[in-house]
Amino acid sequence: MNYKSDGFNIPDHVTYLNCAYMSPFLKSTSKIGQSAVLKKEKPWEIQGDDFFQPVEEARSRFARLVHAKSENIAIVPSASYGLATAAKNLSGLPAGKILLIGDQFPSNVYVWRELAKSDRHEIVYISKNISESAGENISDKIIRELDKDVRIVAMSHVHWCDGLKFDLKRISSDVQKRNIKLVIDGTQSIGAIPFSVEEIRPDFLITACYKWLFGPYAMGFMYVSEDFLEGTPLEFNWINKLGSNDFQNLVNYKDQFEPGARRYDMGERSQFHAMPMVVDALKFIEDVGVQNISHHCEDLIEFFISNLEPLGAKVRYWDKEQRSENIFGLYFESDQALQRVKENLMAHHCFVSYRGQSMRISPHVYNSKEDMVTLFGLIQQVL
């Protein structure tokens, strides 16, 4: 599988292994976006259906991606917006603990710190550091912390720094038994790794579009469980109210919301320039298949890791059960070694990310084994 030349506008001299930072647009998505932007030059051609039809198609396509009903999907502008919505609807729980993972993405930390202050919760950070040689397992570590005082677990599916993967099925099973609320940030996994809300049963699942969903910035999705479909949105806009498609009667104000999770949709959700791009990107993912994407990324990562020993670098998680299929982190003997590698990669147009002490590598379908060989060679040159 290699869509680099046909599907993407990535020059031959560029080795882009950085989807966890931001995905490139598909050529087809860019073309649709350019056309959609020009549509605003002629607003008289924007019809009532344009406010609704593309949104509902995107909602349905994302729902299929995570094995949900479209009624449980809301349109959000960012992961932080979705997380703030979740926090607002989890306000009022008895004082207790909110469990977070160490070095979690800031948007999935700050909002819970604010809720902890207002609701008198204690924030507990579970270190992601484990000793694989001693047989430690990160998911076991999390489950051991689930005592009677835990109210909320807010975490990701895949750790954004180095690809540490959490066994959400096991964690969710224990969470459900204790009536703990589970909030998942899926930004670094949805679209690249199979995920089923039927299996994981989160209360909220939030993801941005601009990484593994190949979509534009400022677009995202939120799954809302049945328990929270009657909750309170962050904003009260016109389009999430019942009968909003009847423009002439919008002045007849309604208290009722549109059905399902639509009450949580962001204002100006129609996004005439961006929503058609989201739909096109979701079509691509659906056509290729998330399982195929996952296998392709995993094959590239395993190919690289199997040849790692001569480099003197270490992959953080050798256990495949604890390493994601789409992201992995490399660690070097010293900060100086990492800096030499960083400078050499930049000089040769090879793009990865650096998060904490980790060099984060995240391939996708536009990458091939040749890209991994290029990366290997550039690291080897300076070590």
* Gap between the Cα atoms of 65 and 77, Å rounded: 19
Pair of tokens at residue 63:
């729902």
Strands 122-126 and 15-16 turn out to be: unpaired
How high is the pLDDT of residue 350?
Answer: 98
How far CA 301 is from CA of 42, 114, 163, 325, in Å, comes to 47, 38, 11, 8
Kindly report the number of other CB atoms within 10 A of residue 287's CB atom: 8
* Gap between the Cα atoms of 354 and 21, Å rounded: 10
Cβ–Cβ < 8 Å for 319, 356: no
Domain boundaries, the chain: 4-17+289-382, 30-286
Where does 249-328 have alpha helices with state H?
Answer: 275-288, 290-306
* Gap between the Cα atoms of 383 and 379, Å rounded: 7
* Gap between the Cα atoms of 336 and 76, Å rounded: 41
- The fold of the 4-17+289-382 domain, in CATH, is Aspartate Aminotransferase, domain 1 (3.90.1150)
How far CA 18 is from CA of 5, 145, 217, 356, in Å, comes to 17, 33, 16, 16
Amino acid at 19: C
Residue 290 CA, distance from chain mean position: 14
Q: Which residues pair with 351 in a beta bridge?
A: 16
* Gap between the Cα atoms of 262 and 233, Å rounded: 9
Kindly report the number of other CB atoms within 10 A of residue 47's CB atom: 8
Taking the chain (383 residues) in runs of 10, the rounded mean pLDDT of each run is: 78 97 97 95 94 97 98 98 98 97 97 98 94 81 96 97 95 96 98 98 98 98 98 96 94 95 97 97 97 96 89 82 94 90 97 90 96 96 90
* Gap between the Cα atoms of 168 and 188, Å rounded: 14
How high is the pLDDT of residue 220?
Answer: 98
How high is the pLDDT of residue 134?
Answer: 65
Cβ–Cβ < 8 Å for 104, 97: no
The CATH number of the domain covering residues in 30-286: 3.40.640.10
Among candidate residues 108, 216, 215, 209, the one with its CA nearest the CA of residue 166: 108
